[in-house]
Structure 1
């Protein structure tokens, strides 16, 4: 479970600090961020790994340190699910994060955040 937590926390730290290298390391090649709404735009948005990294690079996403609280973490063979709460100075996130293990490494493959202003 520690390796799964490390993959999740590398992903979160990469976003919080704008570190593209950490994101490249933590995210699976088929990563998707699936969210209901994009700032003031309603609808379902499915964001690929490349788009997500670009949003962090452009400082549209991330840039603020967040605390993390694990509500649950389950592993079933090579798939793991975590329900976490993240909080920055401006936003609260309730996220379902899915990880997969390939070639002995855990990577984040999906993040489904529910985002609210503080």
Structure 2
């Protein structure tokens, strides 16, 4: 479980600090961010790894440190799911993060955040 938490925390830190190198290391090649709404635009948005990294690099996403609270973390063989709450000075996130074990390394393959203004 320690390695899973480390992968999740690298993912969060990568966003918080706009560190795209860290995100490249921890995101699975088939990563998807699936969210309901994109700022003022309603609808379901499915964001690929490349697009997510671009949004972080361009500082559309991230750049604000967040506190993390784990509500659950479960592992079944090579897949793990975590339900976490993240809070920055301006936003609250409730996320379901899925990790997979591939070639001996835990990687984040999916993030489903619910985002609300504070």
Return the TM-score normalized by structure 1. 1.00
Q: Which runs of 5+ in 2 are unaligned?
A: none
Helix, strand or coil at the partner of 2:59: coil
Helix, strand or coil at the partner of 1:37: strand
For residues 5-44 of structure 1, what are the structure 2 equivalents within 5 Å?
A: 5-44=5-44
Over residues 62-83 of structure 1, what are the superposed CA-to-partner deviations in whole Å (9 max), with x where a residue is unaligned?
0000000000000000000000
Runs ≥4 in structure 1, deviation > 6 angstroms?
Answer: none
For residues 1-118 of structure 1, what are the structure 2 equivalents within 5 Å?
A: 1-118=1-118
Over residues 36-76 of structure 1, what are the superposed CA-to-partner deviations in whole Å (9 max), with x where a residue is unaligned?
00000000000000000000000000000000000000000
Number of residues of Structure 1 aligned to a counterpart in Structure 2 = 118
Displacement, 1:26? Answer: 0.8
For 1:56 and 1:20, the matched residues in 2 are separated by: 7
Displacement, 1:115? Answer: 0.1
How big is the alpha-carbon RMSD for the aligned residues of Structure 1 and Structure 2? 0.3
Q: Which runs of 5+ in 1 are unaligned?
A: none
